[in-house]
Chains A and B, each alone.
Chain A
Amino acid sequence: MVRMSIQTDYRILALIRRFEETVLAEFSSGAFYGTTHTCLGQEANAVGVLGQIAPGDIVVSNHRCHGHFLAYGGDPRALFAELMGKASGVCGGRGGSQHIHWRNFYSNGVLGSTIPLAVGMALAEKRLGGGAIAVAFLGDGAMGEGIVYESLNFASLWKAPILFAVENNHIAQTTPTRLALAGEIAPRFTGFGIPVLELDSSDVLEIAPTAQRLLDEIRSEPAPRALILNTERFGPHSKGDDTRPEDLLARIRSQRDPLEILGARLDPALRAVINAEVATQISSAFQQALADPDPVLNAYF
């Protein structure tokens, strides 16, 4: 059963959008320290896939992890605080934007490095009999890392219960996939015997049932599956490093906005209420995090 609550899904999309917009806006104010990678435009992947997981399932994310974390149920205040380097952050300010762990959610900052990790976790769950499965997000950029293919081989060989969710946003930092990726992505999975479904959509209602189908297959008979999600990144790779032309950005923003696509199915008044509530929630989370105390260094190594 797909959880088809448009209101709920829209609220999470809006939460992620508002969070990421706040991050980019407030970096210039000095509220945040370091670097960040926002998922503006890609929110439907996080919501569509993670809306279908079960409690206890494992989520492994990458450098662009805020949307995944929030869709997983993470607290915006704790994530803001982590980006600010505060004691109340998800990892006490030690990890920052791309090194997050909370409950069964893990992210790390080296592309591809998270994939063997996720496969190992899935195999541990299978071995220990807890019934949980793993979802690993990766992007087109990670397709350049050799460890990904070692991991796909292991996953298929040892029948790891894992969904590889590939977010292909057609650009890795500033490099378009045509300069970095030969051939296609799907055969890179089928070549290892991993069945693939591919979508070109920013619609949660299209992504969710496809993800659900693959997760059901993994649950019924432990083995890896891949879901390739062709998507569009609206914002810069990091804070201000977008070299794409404005007209391209304007076009993808008008055609591929997950909030517009799902929001069009809502009553406009209700949508405005949700937007306003989310804006208040994010603003409040940001202000609370801002007021949170700094961490104290604890060295034990």
Chain B
Amino acid sequence: MTFSSMATVLESLNSALHRALKDDPRVVLMGEDILDPYGGAFKVTRGLSSEYPDRVLSTPISEAGMVGLAAGMALRGLRPVVEIMFGDFLTLAADPLINSISKFRWMYDDQVRVPLVLRTPMGGRRGYGPTHSQSLEKLFLGVPGLRVLAPSTLGDPGRMLYWAILDQEDPVLFVENKLLYLAHLLTDQSSPDLAVRQAGSAAEAPTFVVSIYEAPEPALTIAAYGHMADLARQALERLAFEDEIFCELVVPTQLAPFRIDPVVESVRQTGRLLVCEEGGYTLGWGAEVVARCAEALGPRLKAVQRLAALDLPIPSSNVLERAVLPGLEELIQMAKKMV
């Protein structure tokens, strides 16, 4: 599948769902308000119920129940994909996700696999307020048996989703930041100044390493995922062209189980690490990245900063929301202070 240079993350994901339903009759899609003509709260499921009415199932408002049902379906040969309308509602499904889905394979001594995908939008900057704006994925990182994926504008998010649905056998929490939906995928044509390479061997859920094309040695490593990676990419460009500060940006798409190597390799060169996330500061993803880099690099890790949301509920007010969530200007200021 190829996309036009103007394809959005939403189009990429929607196309992947179409292909998964087309390619395999075991795929069943469940969620709230996902039927046409509405096509889901964020339109990621648009068009699917019209083409596959028997396998696109509109559910009651029962997140725990539908995720539990999906577990049973996956254990018995289907490939369920569940849309949780807002990531905030994942708390309602935490028990089936943590105590059933993630555990079954190991707890049942490898006699079963649970191939299901839970897709959900996370993130703020839309004014949706305290219960519809959070980035709660950190609560699910480190749950044994649960793979957590987070696409960005790099690479092919739809390909990663398709792979999660059909080409692997274990449960996946697929975190889609709301602001990414209408963002365009980065291509060589759209971003001629950027050098993007994939690190490591995990081709299906890659880590991307981004730098300015033919730039001098980077002085700072920035690690970010999801929409924050898009902000960090903008920061990378502005720091280079406005301040001649050259950074390397490391963007994982698999948050758990976490592969630290590409971050460590970059920090081994730069000695400086700035970690950015939209989730809350305390005990977040960034803390784990920093800890692992410190373990791997010891005194070679010279400087560390974390940029994250304040430890507060996300306010509805635009002014307050911007004060709580980490922004592009803060990222740039923080980077400048580190080099």
Contact = CB atoms under 8 A, between A and B. Distances in A.
A119 B60 contact: no
B324 interface: no
A138 B315 CA distance: 42
Contact of A101 (B64, B73, B108): B108
A124 B26 CA distance: 9
Contacts of A109: 99
Interface in A137-191: 146-147, 150-151, 153-154, 157-158
Contacts of B78: 124, 127-128
B51 to A, nearest CB: 18
Contacts of A110: 95, 99-100
A63 B175 CA distance: 33
A228 interface: no
A99 interface: yes
A92 interface: yes
Contacts of A116: 64-69, 71-72, 96
Given A99-B108, A113-B100, A301-B145, A147 B75 contact: no
List of 5 A-B pairs having minimum Cβ-Cβ separation, nearest first:
A120-B72, A116-B68, A150-B65, A120-B69, A124-B76
A58 B66 CA distance: 19
Nearest to A60: B72
Contacts of B104: 101
A91 B76 contact: no
Contacts, number: 118
B182 interface: no
Contacts of B69: 116-117, 119-120, 123, 151, 154
Given A101-B112, A117-B75, A151 B65 contact: yes
B77 A124 contact: yes
Interface residues of B, number: 36
Given A95-B109, A124-B78, A150 B64 contact: yes
Interface of A: 58, 90-92, 94-95, 99-102, 106, 108-110, 113, 115-125, 127-128, 146-147, 150-151, 153-154, 157-158, 301
Nearest to A89: B109
Contacts of B109: 90-92, 94-95, 101
B71 A117 contact: yes
Contact of B68 (A106, A122, A151): A151
B115 to A, nearest CB: 12
A251 to B, nearest CB: 37
A219 B28 CA distance: 23
Interface string B243-260: 000000000000001000
Given A110-B95, A120-B74, A124-B76, 5 more contacts: A91-B111, A110-B100, A113-B68, A120-B73, A301-B145
Contacts of A115: 68
B108 A91 contact: yes
Interface string B97-117: 001100110111101100000
B27 to A, nearest CB: 11
Contacts of B144: 301
A123 B73 contact: yes
A58 B77 CA distance: 13
A79 to B, nearest CB: 13
Best-buried of B72, B77, B104, B106 by chain A (most CB within 10 Å): B72
Contacts of B64: 116, 146-147, 150
Contacts of B168: none
Contact of A123 (B72, B103, B257): B72
A91 to B, nearest CB: 4
B276 interface: no
B72 A301 contact: no
Contacts of B103: 99
Contacts of A95: 107-109
Best-buried of A100, A124, A146 by chain B (most CB within 10 Å): A124
